[in-house]
Each structure stands twice: as structure tokens, then as C-alpha cells.
Amino acid sequence: MMLDAKIPSGTLKDKWTNHKFNLRLVNPANRRKYHVIVVGTGLAGGSAAASLAELGYNVKVFCLQDSPRRAHSIAAQGGINAPLTNNPDSRDDSWEKHTFDTVKGSDYLADQDAAEIMCREAAPIVYEMEHWGCPF
């Protein structure tokens, strides 16, 4: 029996691109046949479940707590930050400033490229979560 991990070929830099473009997609007519299990009901799990359900998959969500509302994302009191510029006092707010604050707050231990991507993509995601009705 030949085991195949289906690791994409090419340089490390090109592997994700090769994987994305060589991936066989599920026909939309067949998506209801697949059951997708999402473990966790926080922001990441809820977002994954909602996105997959919108694509037409049967999604089952499980949580370890007694209620989905007890997920850490909901129970955390730290809040969420993004350069929304919806406050007149924050018109000069930017993802660059948030990136600097994130890296500085980590004592410069954070992956700076990841922090930059997170801060650059934060505002549209916060608006999307607000549209879903997430309590902030």
C-alpha cells in the first residue's frame, strides 16, 4: 500500500499557491452530501461554520461548554481592536499604528508579518462581525 500525503510540490514559497490552484473543488450540487464538523463556538469556529453553511455544506457545531455563549471569544473582557476611523477623535488611526502597538505589546516577540496582516485585515472583519450581530 502506497501512502501519499499529497504534499504540494515546488519551493516552500510556492507550495500554498500550488496547493490552492491544484485543489479539486466540490461541485456545488454535491455540497449537501458532506457533513462538516466544527469544534468550537468562538469567533473562529462561528465564522468557519457560517462561511461553510453559506457555501451549502451541512455544518454541525460542537462546543465543550454547556452553552455556545460560554465560548472564550464571548467571555473575554479584553475587547477587540481595529482601525475603524468611526470616531472623530480617531481619524488618523491606521493599520500601521495597530501593527506597531501589537508588536510592541508583545515585547517584539510577535511574528511581525502575521501582525501586519492581522491588523490590515481587521477592520473589514470587525464590520462583518458587527453585521452578524456580535456583541462588542
Higher pLDDT pick, 133 / 97: 97
Q: Mean pLDDT, to the nearest integer, of 7-20?
A: 77
- Chain CA centroid to CA 58, Å: 20
**pLDDT the model gives residue 75:** 64
- Sign of the alpha-carbon dihedral angle for 19, 127, 39, 56: negative
Residues 6+ apart with CB under 8 A from 62: 37, 38, 39, 40
Please write the tens of the pLDDT for every residue from 68-111.
Answer: 767 776 666 666 778 887 777 777 888 899 999 999 999 999 99
Q: Would you list the DSSP string of 54-119?
A: HTT-EEEEE-SSSSGGGSHHHH--S--------SGGGTT--HHHHHHHHHHHTTT-S-HHHHHHHH
Beta-sheet pairing, 58-62 with 35-39: parallel
Contact between 35 and 60 under an 8 Å Cβ cutoff? The reply is yes
**pLDDT the model gives residue 21:** 75
Please write the tens of the pLDDT for every residue from 28-65.
Answer: 788 888 889 999 888 888 889 988 998 888 999 998 87
Query: For the chain, what is the mean pLDDT?
Result: 82
Query: Does 114 have pLDDT greater than 70?
Result: yes
**Cell numbers found for residue 99:** 501593527
**pLDDT the model gives residue 67:** 76
